[in-house]
A and B are shown apart, each in its own frame.
Chain A
Amino acid sequence: METLLNLTIYLPLLGLIGILAARSEDAVKWIALAATSVTFAVSLPLIFNFDVASSDTAQFVTESGSLVFGLDIKYIVGLDGLSLLLFMLTTFFGPIVVLGAWTSVKKHVAGFYSMLMILQTGSLGVFASLDLVVFYVFFELTLIPMYFLIGIWGGSGRIAATIKFFLYTLVGSLIMLVALVYVGYHAGAAINNGVFISDWRVLSGMEYQIGLVEQTWLFLAFALAFFIKVPLFPFHTWLPYAHTEAPTAGSVVLAAIMLKMGTYGLIRFCLPLFPNAMLEFAPYIAFLAVIGIVYGALVAMVQKDVKKLVAYSSVSHLGFVVLGLFALNVIGVQGAIIQMINHGLSTGALFLIVGMIYDRRHSRQIEDFGGITTIMPVFAVMFMLAAFSSIGLPGLNGFVGEFLILMGAFTSESIGNIWFAIVATTGVILAAIYMLWMFQRVMFGPVTKEENKNLKDLNAREIGLLIPVMIFIIWIGVRPTHFTQYSEHQVTVLLEQADEKRIAVIESAQNDIHNLPNWASKFYDITPSLAEATTPKTDQDER
């Protein structure tokens, strides 16, 4: 199984070699399709053999010796409850993305698919790695192919968009790198005989605790990188440009996979490493998340470009995910995790669909369409299903995530105010407004434009690549427990551990309360009347 996991991660690179050796463009496409399909096939045994009962321990683990002399940086990959679904989502989207680009990419075909292959390996590595440094390497590795995908195969404003995307996310992750190095040495001094260590399993454990002052700075450094990636309001401005300019395949991977690296990082690293800071900052971040939900939706509403509309809707939807994560209870976090998958599926589908109509019409302006349902009925059904999934219709996937997130936020003690959840719930109204209004203008009414009259309905390839996505949209909507079961146990354990760790940190902070700077003692509740302040914050879930 360990071999299989590694095979899954690096198979796309094997495909890359094949692509470089291929003689014709057709061969390139078929090799890319084969590589991603085999990757997906090979990854399936992983989920089938995953032990749900012990989802809190990493499974299929490969662990090397120290990679760098004198530092405990090891190549550690494995899957646990947090990463399994995202990992599978990535392998699942591999062949879909390749098929989606089949006819729409015409220049530098080999280069295009090479980039996709590197991106695939990078993304899989991000979700599988259990060493902070290895994670970081994969995290940055994904930037480069995406930079080229947007910069070479993008639209007219691609250069500015890709530079903004690259620099913005890079700045965030460089700051994270500094914090990461600090954590490594700090942990080494604390529990590893002074040797730098970055093994997630060790750092997330109870033995390693970080003081309150360090937690604040380190949390901010990590969180900034992830917030930019998510993107959380107000760090989102790179997203509309990147999405609009990216080729369809780029948008799909960006939305379905890469944005999730931010939210994934928050739950994977910030929660177990900086539990106190996570809790204390929760209301502020929830505030930003709620603003993002409403703001993203309102701005989406007035977009004239369908793709930009979907991009801004992502800001809104990812706001939900962040809100759920910072609810810091099982309901909210579980909702957030399944919503990451949901957003991947529904927004991925929407980008594919927008790409399909763009391929035919070379326009994404809403006003250029109208009455498309009459001309492309199958397309209409797919589009409608994806739109309703995005709106959060019960019975489809989006509802499960949104409902759990809102319920979690409503009952959350870390957010501490039901108004966050109430304002966030207005997102369900706004989503209906921007989606259905756009849908109406594009799909309904009479066909007014001559160019639209002869559009061809979806072909077999397009139907074939959308149907798997639709199946999951319905499957998750009807039987969400088939999916949420993978993370349930680990989330419960993580939250409990975070609570324990939080109390332990507070207790030790009390001992040298005089050494803490003023702002820290104001910020963290470390007054002597600790009895109340340190009761587990997630009582809510035990009820």
Chain B
Amino acid sequence: MAEYVWLIIAIPLAGFLINGLLGLSSESYRKQKSVIGWLATVAVFIPFLISVLIFLEMNAGSEPTVVRLFTWIEAGSFTSDIAYRVDQLSILMALVVTGVGFLIHVYSMGYMKDDEGYWKFFTYLNMFIFAMLNLVMANNLVLLFLGWEGVGVCSYLLIGFWYGDMEKASAAKKAFIYNRVGDFAFLIAMFLVFRAVGSLDFDVIFSNMAAFSPDIAFWVCVLMFIGATGKSAQIPLFVWLPDAMAGPTPVSALIHAATMVTSGIYLITRFSGLYMGSPEAMLLVAVIGGLTAIVAATIALTQYDIKKVLAYSTVSQLGFMFLALGSGGYVAAMFHVITHAFFKACLFLGSGSVIHAMHHVEHELEHEGKDAHFDPQDMRNMGGLREYMPSTYKTFLISTFAIAGIPFFSGFFSKDEILAYLFNAGLGEYGAIYFGLWGLAVITAFLTAFYMFRLTLTTFHGTFKLPGKVKGAEDSAKYLHESPVSMTAPLWVLAGLAIVGGFMGIPEFFVTTFTSTDATINWLYSWLSGVTTRAEIILPYGIKWTLVAFAILVAVSATIFAYKKYDNDKGEETDAAIRARFGGLYTTWEEKYLFDEAYEKSIIKPGHRFSDRVLAIFDIKIIDGFVNLIGSVVQFFGSLLRFVQTGVIHTYAIAFLIGVILIIGLLIF
């Protein structure tokens, strides 16, 4: 079955081409929305089925299968093929991408129903799935890079989907450019790898790890990580992700939460063998991840736009994954990638459902002839939605439980695993720093539970606040309604996964403590053991259980605290109280640590000014001026000589005579 892996990639491509070309050329095809939607959805569902079949055929010990289609780029000693690799890691990613991707396609058929660019939307979505699958299934770095940049383009197109709004177009461009900064480092990493090993094929690289000197290994790791900070939105390149929320909500769920932004984690997990050999690089990964986690969590605390809260939450959770990578928990990171894909996709789609409803309200009010304009994403306008949107509420709540780390929801297991690895790393090299990071991670975990319940409770509990906030919207509650089944069904599937997803990675000590057998209850560990390495956990059982208990305490106390403060209509007062308590710190959070402003001031503006006022002038005045100067000098001498060319025969004759005399003189003396 694995030899049919190319179908997984070809089918979404076909979907993209059919919808794209027909949509571009035929006005009437664009109106066949159900055809377009179903075609695109099926083009993701079949690959999902194939992935499942391949997955079922494999076991933890299966050797990787490589399917080569053709030689892509070749010059001198360099070759790279269009070749796909089926192993435990890539098939797992393929399942997540096609599985979550399929659900989001279904959801989008409802969500985008009335949009003019329906055909374009599904064309882009299929193209994204195609690129993302290239990224995770590639057998060499160049093809991986094709997927890497490909998802970047899709992200660009989808963030700027409503390009008529300049702000959205700017957000799209910003995303692409910040990603390109990361890609620059990724390219250099590839060159270094090629120089060291002579190939960019995974097989060759992984079997020649000895060819990397410690220095080269360090730089390759750091450069790849910089690439990852672009795609996976880490400090210093994370600023594009919150802006990326300008795209339609299903896009935020699929690309900017579940799949694309985790590709940096995938890349580093792929190269876990190399990273394990470079503790300094791992430390860097962990530090950046830890800082990003806490920075984004504190920002999330202050936001009112529900998508922005989720966006910063995503950045923060990605930081968690990098913490895991940096402390040697590569499987733990993948674990969090998967559980996060479930609950964060569910949360984003849930927020989409809410926004959909609020838009509907705005639309209906407009229909009534009332001039009631409000921000349909501002949670201060919401509240009490659980009555009107029970499915959305329940699934949202379940996912909130999962992300908060409430026991036995999926996020609990994966987050626990990360904390354990951090603590464990605290006992090794650079222990003090890792302990510090563990502390940061615990605080972040507390904040995560807190801001997520703040979001959920403000949105769904209490009373509907729009009527009191906006003039003309007094009895707008009657327009609130639950979203159609095509939207709620994916929510329920994802919520179900958010509950049970954690059981694929139950920590082994949950069992071995009591049975003292070498139980392989942790399915994910055994599944990925052949394709990744990981740091050894040296913690005794006592500490492990203490850590779990502590994590539960943190999550539960944050949840209770949040319920006390926000499970009523006093949310804004609580926010004000927090603001008063933290003062300047809170302002810093609210202003997002001024990252954007700092870049604007220190790089963008000066760069532009330098190019505009120095280089562009230099080009015209100095370089071209020099060219013109040479021209003038030649012209000047030419004009001097012109006086000689008088055209008067007498002058010529005299000059001739003088010349003859001179020559004769020279000959004589």
Contacts and interface: CB of A to CB of B under 8 A. Distances in A.
B76 A329 contact: yes
Nearest to B167: A445
A288 B150 CA distance: 32
Interface stretch (A150-158, A218-226, A400-408): A400-408
Given A168-B627, A422-B188, A432 B616 contact: no
A374 B188 CA distance: 38
A403 B623 contact: no
A86 interface: no
Interface stretch (A114-122, A197-205, A352-360, A435-443): A435-443
A237 interface: yes
Nearest to A492: B76
A41 interface: no
Interface string B148-173: 01100100100010011110011011
Interface string B235-276: 000000000000000000000000000000000000000000
Contact of B176 (A164, A335, A422, A436): A436
A407 B180 contact: no
Interface in B18-60: 24
Contacts of A488: 74-75
A395 B150 CA distance: 8
A446 interface: yes
Interface in B155-213: 156, 160, 163-166, 169-170, 172-173, 176-177, 180-181, 183-184, 187-188, 190-192, 194-195, 198
Contacts of A443: 163
Interface in A389-416: 393-395, 399-400, 403-404, 406-408, 410-411
A533 interface: no
A543 B187 contact: no
A444 B170 CA distance: 9
B78 A407 contact: yes
B19 to A, nearest CB: 14
Interface stretch (A74-82, A183-191, A295-303, A502-510): A295-303
Nearest to B174: A436
Interface stretch (B454-462, B466-474, B607-615): B607-615
B164 A331 contact: no
Contacts of B146: 394-395
A245 to B, nearest CB: 14
B149 A440 contact: no
A219 to B, nearest CB: 22
A440 B170 contact: yes
Contact of A403 (B73, B176, B619): B73
A214 to B, nearest CB: 26
A425 interface: yes
Contacts of B170: 440
Interface range for A: 35 or more
Interface in A360-386: 371, 373-374, 377-378, 381
B72 interface: yes
Contacts of A234: 623
B173 A425 contact: no
Interface stretch (A260-268, A275-283, A479-487, A516-524): A479-487
A353 to B, nearest CB: 17
Nearest to A443: B163
A478 B164 CA distance: 32
A388 interface: yes
A121 B164 CA distance: 46
Contacts of A543: 77, 198
Contacts of B611: 298-299, 301-302
Contact of B75 (A331, A428, A440): A331
B286 to A, nearest CB: 26
A404 to B, nearest CB: 5
Contacts of A21: none
A433 interface: yes
Contacts of B627: 164, 168, 237-238
A167 interface: yes
B624 interface: yes
A425 B610 CA distance: 20
B495 interface: no
Contacts of A445: 163-166, 169
Interface in A2-20: none
B76 A444 contact: no
Contact of B608 (A302, A407, A481): A302
Interface residues of B, number: 53
A400 B191 contact: no
Contacts of A25: none
Contacts of B73: 400, 403-404, 480-481, 484
B70 interface: yes
Contacts of B72: 478-481
B149 A374 contact: no
Given A330-B75, A425-B188, A237 B623 contact: yes
Contact of B77 (A331, A373, A422): A331
A337 to B, nearest CB: 9
Contacts, number: 149
B180 A410 contact: no
A402 to B, nearest CB: 9
A481 B195 contact: no
A366 to B, nearest CB: 13
Nearest to A543: B198
Given A168-B627, A480-B73, A378 B191 contact: no
A433 B176 CA distance: 9
Looking at B74, B75, B177, B187, the one whose CB has the most chain A CB atoms below 10 A away is B75
B478 to A, nearest CB: 34
A451 interface: no
Contacts of A425: 184, 187-188
Given A299-B611, A428-B183, A432-B176, A411 B166 contact: no
A445 B146 CA distance: 29
B287 to A, nearest CB: 24
B75 A237 contact: no
A236 B164 CA distance: 37
A393 B623 contact: no
A38 to B, nearest CB: 30
Contacts of A444: 160, 163-164, 166, 169
B631 A295 contact: no
A410 B181 CA distance: 18
A541 interface: yes
A436 B191 contact: no
A374 B76 CA distance: 45
A393 B173 contact: no
A422 B176 CA distance: 20
A314 to B, nearest CB: 14
Contacts of A400: 73
B24 A334 contact: no
Contacts of B191: 406-407, 410-411, 418, 421
Nearest to A238: B627
B71 interface: yes
A251 B76 CA distance: 34
A492 B627 CA distance: 38
Nearest to B613: A302
Contacts of A428: 180, 183-184, 187
A159 to B, nearest CB: 14
A381 B23 CA distance: 12
B169 A440 contact: yes
B142 interface: yes
Nearest 7 A/B pairs, CB to CB: A330-B76, A444-B169, A237-B624, A334-B75, A445-B166, A394-B146, A410-B191
21 contacts: A164-B627, A237-B619, A298-B615, A299-B616, A334-B75, A377-B24, A393-B150, A394-B142, A404-B75, A407-B190, A410-B188, A421-B191, A422-B188, A426-B184, A428-B184, A429-B177, A444-B160, A480-B73, A481-B71, A481-B73, A542-B77
Given A329-B76, A331-B78, A425-B188, 14 more contacts: A237-B620, A295-B615, A334-B76, A393-B150, A394-B145, A403-B187, A404-B75, A407-B190, A407-B191, A444-B166, A444-B169, A446-B164, A481-B73, A484-B74
